[in-house]
Chains A and B, each alone.
Chain A
Amino acid sequence: MKVTVKHWHAVAQWRWDIGNNDTAGNEDDDDGDVCGICRVPFEGCCPSCKMPGDDCPLIWGECTHIFHMHCLLKWIGTAASKQQCPMDRRPWVTAERKV
């Protein structure tokens, strides 16, 4: 018998590629990681956005911390931030994505 797939209407979820190893055992991280500032999952959107995904992207720091871009920019914009990463208080440097 030969099985030919003519059309496959599949369903998938998108995830941000945040570099963690997803080859194995990623079934458990169902809750996903959350933004350290707004506590909303990365795949959600920051409090000021309505649409997730490309409209509310992430930002990577040299310090390996990841936030919603809007959240982090808002934080950096405040005087109290002293341009530091809110997680480790090191000066914030946006990392180049190595894709």
Chain B
Amino acid sequence: MATDAVRAQVAAKWQYAFSRLNRGEPGISGLMTFSQAWRLATEFLRPRVLTDRSGSHIEYNADDFRKALHLINRCHKLPALLETFLDDLRKAFKLVEREVEQHMAEYERTSGPTIINQFIMRVLEWYKAWAPPADLGNTCLSTYTLNFQTNLFSILPSSFPPAFKALCASTLPSPDPDAKLDDIISSESFWSAAEMLGLMDRYDSLVASVGYEHIEGHVLSTCAGQWEKPVLGDLKNWMADKMIPWMLVTYARNAQTTEEVRHLLQGVGSRFEFHMNKTLCDLRTREIFDIIIDFPDSMGALQDLKECLQRVDQRSALVQSLRKANRKRLLHPGADTKLILTQYVATIKCLRIVDPPGVLLFKIADPIRRYLRERPDTIRCIVANLVGDDNTGDSLVDENEPIQPLQQPDVDDYTDPNWEPEPIDAGPEFRTNKPSDIISTLVSIYHSKDLFVKELQVLLAQRLLAVLENDIEKVDKERKNIEILKIRFGEAALQVCEVMLRDMSDSKRIDTHAQMQKPSVVHPTIISRQFWPALKTGDLVMPGQFQKLQEEYASEFHKFKPDKKLRWLPQLGTVHLELELQDRTVDVTVPPLEAAFIELFSQQTVWSMDELIEVVGSIDRSAALKALITWVDLGVLKEDVEDTFRLLEVAEDPSAESRERRMAPVTPDVAPVMGAQQQQAEKIKVYWKFVEGMLTNLGALPVDRIQSMLRIVPGYDQTVEQLTMFLEAARREGLLTVRDGMWKLNR
């Protein structure tokens, strides 16, 4: 369909092209010289097998090539030449590919990084051999480099990056301190080869990761479990001694001046240093629980952690990790309350070092405090520790810490010129936790210190009642304790304890007087009942001579203090007895119930348990059994038939039966003093009648209403929460039902 116009156009084009190539030479001689030049140039450039050194480069000398090039350039055919060259390159790359395969196969067999080194050197040789001469200009060279690299990368197998990484790692300084730096220097050629081939750019992150992993390995191997001394300084020295030379070779080979070096290393150097800090920080975060256990032997680790946390933002990770560790290792039923408290105190001390403002502490302490609040024996444990009750020796309280009053959380004082706002990551409920003493912190687990004072009272009562009246030292020790606690809790709170102590000294005085009037074996502790915690009272009636002794002493007391009289608490105290039996005497100190029983056996040698219980008043069967078994154990009584005991005037070998009986489950010894919680329950029980009456008359009531009505009752001092707990308990016993918050009698 060639029209004339098209034909003319094609002719014109052809003419133009021809004239350009022929350059106006006569005939087609111009064309001939051009094709000659073209052939020479392409032949010259063609990539060849490296081995035939004899080859073409020598055949064509550089001058001819330059002339040919000049000719081609005049004909504007350089781009075409370049294209042909690159095409040839692509075709010739099969040669490289074969070698790649060979080397990689070799590497996979031996997995020695030197193979890879050889391989890279070999590829560099190819690269250099095929490079076009400089006459072609920079553009040409860079196009060649780009194409060579593209081709190279496309044929590198997937196993190459790990191999390359292994090679990089082999250039690192060995952990052996004696290793010389020569190894690093020798690897310089490798690094320049890698850079020339573009491997550095392509595998930049790989090279960096080699550095990271090396740092990580070093930190983990040298610092794990080393908590005594700070290690950060050593690590920094190590970085300077070992890592910087490597970095110099790797990243700043070509630098001429120190300024340049600094510039080149700035980025990577700070990244490596950050990584070192982060690795150490992560390590310490993982170890934090054990670090706290080891406190104060782990000061170094804590200081490191503090420094690291300033560089690395790992605070939340630390909180998470420690909270998790606490949950897993501390806050479970298997852990002793004492242990939890000790660890809590150590945590406080440790985190004060790591984070003085206390934000971390607040976040970590919260679950511990909540857990402790749920434990029934926490207060007892703290109080026992306060008065030095435990003999384990490791007190929660630092002996050197000055005794100071409990600190209340104080409100921000905005007129203080040194006032600082809350730290930025403080939680919403964060209270500025001023470095207060440990006891204040422990007491603040609970909302009020009253609970502590109550528990303290109970504890003191137990200890005082155990004191024999002539043991002044012990009373003085308690007095000293109370004096110390007064400083903490305030005078008023411990007034009751003061009365208890005075009762002790009064008893002593009264007893001295009474003994002078009429000597007696009875030495009572006379207490002011309003000031002692509720004591276990029962209906024990002391039989025989005991009652006589009591009465005699009571009348003596009445003579001395005419306006007062005594009321015995027969369950409490101890009796030192001597039993004269036919063949032996038994000298023991026993509780009063045991004494009462043995007194009865002196009147009649065989008793059944029920008879015994009837004579001494209504007491627990289990308590009675326990008392009797005490005597069976002492070989004074024998249980012939079940629940029937006989006095052994003549000793008998304990029979198998009695041994068996000895194993019988005896209920654990109940404390003579009711615990604070028990007292609380006793107290609120009084109000049950009121609640019952109220609900009978008014039907269902919400708890608030019950509370407001109970307030009218004199002496009612329970909070709504306590009342709710009480109502809940009543519901569990089936006395009440609740629906939609309305309490109703269960009828």
User: Which A residues form the contact surface with B (CB < 8 A)?
Assistant: 1-17, 22, 26-27, 30, 32, 39-41, 43-44, 50-54, 57-58, 97, 99
Contact = CB atoms under 8 A, between A and B. Distances in A.
B326 interface: no
A16 B602 CA distance: 36
B285 interface: no
B573 A52 contact: no
B650 to A, nearest CB: 11
Contact of B568 (A1, A7, A10, A50): A10
Given A1-B649, A17-B558, A39-B714, A10 B528 contact: no
A50 B495 contact: yes
Contact of B576 (A1, A6, A26, A58): A6
20 contacts: A1-B601, A1-B602, A2-B602, A5-B595, A6-B587, A8-B546, A8-B573, A9-B576, A10-B522, A10-B525, A10-B570, A10-B572, A11-B569, A12-B567, A12-B569, A14-B529, A14-B564, A15-B564, A17-B564, A50-B495
B524 A57 contact: no
Q: Which of A5, A15, A40 has the most CB of B within 10 A?
A: A5
Nearest to B520: A8
A57 B563 CA distance: 9
A97 B469 CA distance: 32
Contact of B526 (A1, A13, A51, A57): A13
Contact of B539 (A1, A27, A52): A27
Contact of A50 (B498, B595, B605): B498
A4 B578 contact: yes
Interface of B: 465, 468-469, 495, 498-499, 502, 506, 521-531, 535, 537, 539, 545-546, 549-550, 553-554, 557-558, 561-570, 572-581, 587, 592, 595, 598-599, 601-602, 605, 647, 649, 714
Contact of B565 (A4, A6, A7, A14): A14
Q: Which 8 A-B pairs have the closest CB atoms?
A: A11-B572, A7-B576, A44-B530, A99-B562, A10-B524, A2-B580, A13-B529, A4-B578
Nearest to A27: B539
A13 B569 contact: yes
Contact of B527 (A11, A22, A44): A11
A6 B529 contact: no
Contacts of A99: 562-563
Contact of B549 (A8, A9, A11, A14): A8
Given A4-B579, A14-B565, 13 more contacts: A1-B602, A10-B523, A10-B553, A10-B568, A12-B526, A12-B554, A13-B566, A14-B529, A14-B564, A26-B567, A44-B530, A50-B498, A54-B561
Contacts of A27: 539
Nearest to B582: A1
Contacts of B563: 16-17, 57-58, 97, 99
A55 to B, nearest CB: 9
A54 B562 CA distance: 11
Contacts of B587: 6
Contacts of B523: 7-10
B693 to A, nearest CB: 19
A9 B672 CA distance: 15
B469 A53 contact: no
A60 B528 CA distance: 21
B498 A43 contact: no
A44 B580 CA distance: 44
Contacts of B714: 39
Contacts of B567: 12-15, 26
Contact of A4 (B469, B572, B580): B580
